[in-house]
Amino acid sequence: MTEAVERLTKKSEDPSKWYLDLIRMAKLADYGPVRGTFAIRPYGYAIWERIQRDLDDRFKATGHVNAYFPLFIPESYLKKEAEHVEGFDPEVAWVTRAGREDLEERIAVRPTSETIICEFYRRWIDSYRDLPVLVNQWSNFVRWEKVTRPFLRTIEVLWQEGHTVHATAEEAREETLRMLDVYQDCFHETLAIPVLTGMKSPSERFAGAVETFTCEALMGDGRALQAATSHDLGQNFARAFDITFLDENQERVHPYQTSWGFSTRSVGALILVHGDDRGLKIPPKLAPTEAVVVPIWRGKNKGEVRREAEALYSELKDAGLRTEVDLDEEHSPGWKFNEHELRGVPVRVELGPKDIEKGQAVLVRRDTGEKEFVERKQLGGRLHVLMGEIQENMLRQAAAFRHENTHQAGSYEEFKEIIAEKRGFVVAPWDGTEETEQRIKEETKATIRLLPFERQEGEDLVSGRPGKTAIFARAY
């Protein structure tokens, strides 16, 4: 292996450095001048756009519509729901001055939109006939985080936030879980990332929610990442913002709300879950380029190979594949192979003089490195099949990794040992008290990532009291 390849730090050697190297070298993002801000570069943004489209289609399919609400929120609104303001207060960015004048009331740059949206819902909702309200917003938010990393934790985040209103508690809970499923499907089917779903413990609950549900993914270094959340807000915000409607019995009552969000953090998860020592690995459904044609020419036949490569590119494009052809004359084929592997393109299509002679092309999979020779006429069809196989294989591999790194702990000693040495998810009973949760966190740095929907009875490893299954891990 040559010097240039080694420049990407090995994932196993220093995962943190690997992550930052990869983001820089694959041109996914770049640091901004204000601490914690990042530009998402075109290639990184192309991935986010595909996630957006996938999610948006799923939202529309479940009856939601898009809207947009103000970025600026009066301080008085943020304060209306007591728990909410307490939760977000430490990280809100405030506007106190506009132009040359001080503002009378501080204005928050949205850390999330529940409060401002409630203002509008109070005006828009009057009757049970107005319900349910199923609105989503594509937006950004600002939370002044202390420790930042590109995609995983930034002070400005691109995301989607759904905000719905329902007549009954049952409907709201149903919606909360429906959207959790939508997120799970998106992770599994599109990002090829297996996620566990379940309920958050009270201490990890969204500020102001009745119940928070989460998708938790396991990263390559054995740490967990909260990948998306869905909240049942109950009537907490409706009460605080005086949202009411006249129900079918002529009674004025508070409705029930939900909110759910999925952010560019998912791009960080994608990198951490699928990336390897060669670079990024993007599942076909998400890849801005599914297949890249790399011509292999010699001085004397450059013209012919070039023409054939361009023709092949057109054929593949016509076959409905997202394709590019790398006609760069400065770099050797080997250089290009490495470059496109770094970028995570699912399949490389090599075309050289020998291939042209035989009427074939060489396909190389990014996920397995497997090489195959395919007849030119069958390329389009074969590639479509291959994309499906790669998509499936990537999910299967990630699921296998998660399976290998999910452990049952029989004692607290064993629990500590697993967290310290192997990391990964640890399944153990929890007695439901904040006290044991806190103690485990202090002593092992592991937190309860979620409480699964199916929970077994058992004895809490710390307190010895009766408990039920919880999933622990050290988290990002």
Partner RNA sequence: CGGGACGUGGCGCAGUCUGGUAGCGCACUCGGCUGGGGGCCGAGUGGUCGCCGGUUCGAAUCCGGCCGUCCCGACCA
Map the footprint of RNA across residues 346-375, applying CB under 7 A.
348, 350-355, 362, 364, 369
**Cβ-proximal residues to 250 (8 Å cutoff; 6+ apart), any chain:** none
Of 37 and 235, nearer to RNA (C-beta) is 37
Q: Work out how close the CB of 332 gets to RNA at its nearest, in angstroms, rounded to a whole number.
A: 4
Of 114 and 204, nearer to RNA (C-beta) is 204
451 sits near RNA (criterion: CB under 7 A): no
CA end-to-end span of the chain: 33
Interface pick for RNA out of 131, 296, 309, 409 (rule CB under 7 A)? 296
Three-class DSSP category at 107: strand
236 sits near RNA (criterion: CB under 7 A): no
Beta bridge partners of 407: 426
Of 165-204, binders to RNA (CB under 7 A) are 204
Check if the beta carbon of residue 347 is closer than 8 Å to that of residue 387.
yes
342 sits near RNA (criterion: CB under 7 A): yes
Would you state the structure tokens that stand for residue 362, as one six-digit string?
Answer: 């060489």
Helix ranges (DSSP H) in 347-454: 353-358, 379-404, 412-417, 434-444
Site size toward RNA (CB under 7 A) is 72
Instruction: Choose the binding region for RNA from 85-93, 120-128, 172-180, 402-410 (rule: CB under 7 A).
Output: 85-93
Q: Work out how close the CB of 428 gets to RNA at its nearest, in angstroms, rounded to a whole number.
A: 19
149 sits near RNA (criterion: CB under 7 A): yes
x/- site string to RNA, residues 251 to 270, per CB under 7 A? ----------x-xxx-----
Of 125 and 374, nearer to RNA (C-beta) is 374
Q: How far apart are CA 258 and CA 240, in angstroms?
A: 15
Interface pick for RNA out of 27, 35, 60, 377 (rule CB under 7 A)? 35
Q: How far apart are CA 213 and CA 196, in angstroms?
A: 10
Three-class DSSP category at 176: helix
Instruction: Choose the binding region for RNA from 54-62, 63-71, 99-107, 294-302 (rule: CB under 7 A).
Output: 294-302
Of 74 and 87, nearer to RNA (C-beta) is 87
Interface pick for RNA out of 341, 431, 437, 460 (rule CB under 7 A)? 341
145 sits near RNA (criterion: CB under 7 A): yes
Closest CA to 283 of 402, 357, 193, 210: 193
Q: How far apart are CA 311 and CA 460, in angstroms?
A: 65
Closest CA to 473 of 396, 413, 402: 402
43 sits near RNA (criterion: CB under 7 A): no
